[in-house]
Amino acid sequence: MIEPAAVSGGSGEQLFEAFLNQHDDRSWRQIVLSLLSSIHSIDKTATQIWFSFFPLSLAKALKQSNDPERLARRLSLDGRYLLKDQIDSAHQFLYGHRYWPQVKAAVSELAASGKAPASLDLATQIQSIATNVAKRMNIDSSLVTGITAVAFMTLQQVGANALKTSPGSVGKLHKKTPDQIVRDREHDDTQHLFKSFFYPDKIFSIFFDELDQSARFKLINTQHLTTAAANDKRNYHSRDPRCVVGEGPIPVECRSASCGTCWVGVLAGSQKLSEVRELERRKISEFGYVDTDDPRPLIRLACQAQAYGNVTIVIPRWNGVYGRILRAEQHGLENEL
């Protein structure tokens, strides 16, 4: 992890941004891992997924490029990949989203003070802000630690001014308590005895937006996620042009792990998905989505993942092949992008 260093000169916000810019994706991964024990189970996985959905290396490459539109085409980026265009909504799948206005204000205030570079390491800063917000709202700090980490990363990617001036509004909110939601995620659909006699294949539900009770589709035991999703014929293309008409809510192009369009975050039920095979593991690494030896990672290609139970997923708002950036960085070939 990169150690914070004091930075002199400039406004408080400039000092704070300079402090944050000492951190890259690798150090952020360590920071998030160190915070997991302080994050409520409702948002442990969600926080990690959010950081996979909005990688710092991609944001930096686009910001530093002389021709970001050309780079976006080079990386086959499609959908809403710029965090600056969705500052207040990108984290709706976190329970802590409901506390976004208070967290955003606290982080913006800290940035304006410029105190961070000369004081605590980033993980401690995040925990400190979460603790202070929780005290003011009379809630447990574990409910805001994840969204606070998101706020710090958002500030690093979009800048202090953009964070401060965003409306800070929130959308739909969970009506259940965090513990109720965690329990519900663990359950599978009940298999009625009469139906089981005539239809021996078990039927499960795949949830793709917990804030919308209708945002689910049925899956026959061991079906691939994209195959099951294609039976949902509602009009998703009007919401997300990446969705193929008549193919369900998950954007899909090839069904052979070649395009990366169908990547999803597994919010709950990863243990009810088939293990990653070599093709999927290699391709999600090539795309840049995740590089891990975990047999059931939190990021999957839906066309390769088979389910045998209820699973809750999050569909990212973009797709691409930003792994090219990671490989260019490793070989010092950034200019070739």
Residue 155's identity, in one-letter code, is: L
Identify the pLDDT of residue 195: 60
Say whether pLDDT at 196 is over 80.
no
Same domain, 19 and 158: yes
Identify the pLDDT of residue 310: 98
Domain boundary among 107, 141, 173: 173
Same domain, 196 and 289: yes
What's the average model confidence in pLDDT over 183-202?
A: 79
* 7 belongs to a structural domain: no
Alpha-carbon distances of 119 from 37, 125, 329, rounded to whole Å: 23, 9, 30
For the CA atoms of 288, 294, 299, 300, the dihedral, rounded to the nearest 10 degrees, stands at 100
Say whether pLDDT at 118 is over 70.
no
Identify the pLDDT of residue 334: 52
How does the average pLDDT of the chain come out, rounded?
A: 91
Percent of the chain with pLDDT over 70: 91
Identify the pLDDT of residue 10: 62
Same domain, 304 and 251: yes
Decide which of 196 and 129 is more confident: 129
Domain count, the chain: 2
Same domain, 240 and 169: no
248: left (phi over 0), alpha (psi -120 to 50) or beta: left
* 182 belongs to a structural domain: no
Contacts (Cβ under 8 Å, ≥6 apart) of 304? 224, 257, 276, 277, 279, 280
* 3 belongs to a structural domain: no
DSSP assignment of 95-119 equals GGGGGHHHHHHHHHHHHHHT-GGGS
Nearest to residue 324, comparing CAs of 298, 293, 297, 285? 285
Identify the pLDDT of residue 8: 46
CATH number at residue 244: 3.10.20.30
Measured distance CA(15)–CA(78) in Å, rounded: 34
What's the average model confidence in pLDDT over 12-28?
A: 91
Identify the pLDDT of residue 200: 63
Identify the pLDDT of residue 4: 40
Partners of residue 307 on adjacent β-strands = 273
* 332 belongs to a structural domain: no
Partners of residue 314 on adjacent β-strands = 265
Same domain, 86 and 231: no
What's the average model confidence in pLDDT over 7-20?
A: 77
* 163 belongs to a structural domain: yes
- For the ranges 140-144, 181-185, 232-236, 328-332, the lowest mean pLDDT is seen at 328-332
* 261 belongs to a structural domain: yes
Domain boundary among 122, 141, 173: 173
Same domain, 168 and 217: no
What's the average model confidence in pLDDT over 144-167?
A: 97
* 157 belongs to a structural domain: yes
Say whether pLDDT at 308 is over 80.
yes
CB 170 within 8 A of CB 97: yes
CB 112 within 8 A of CB 160: yes
CB 144 within 8 A of CB 130: yes
* 123 belongs to a structural domain: yes
Domain boundary among 122, 149, 173: 173
Identify the pLDDT of residue 202: 93
**Per-residue confidence band for 335, with pLDDT thresholds at 50, 70 and 90:** low
CB 17 within 8 A of CB 155: yes
Decide which of 171 and 86 is more confident: 86
Domain holding 237, by residue range, is 187-324
Contacts (Cβ under 8 Å, ≥6 apart) of 15? 7, 8, 9, 114, 116, 117
Tell me the pLDDT tens digit for each residue of 246-269: 999 999 999 999 999 999 999 999
Same domain, 200 and 158: no
Partners of residue 10 on adjacent β-strands = none
Same domain, 259 and 316: yes
Same domain, 306 and 244: yes
Same domain, 264 and 134: no
CB 206 within 8 A of CB 216: yes
Identify the pLDDT of residue 116: 63
Same domain, 121 and 25: yes
Task: Tell me the whole-structure pTM to 2 decimals.
Answer: 0.93
E strand or H helix that includes residue 300: strand 299-301
Same domain, 151 and 198: no
Measured distance CA(34)–CA(42) in Å, rounded: 17
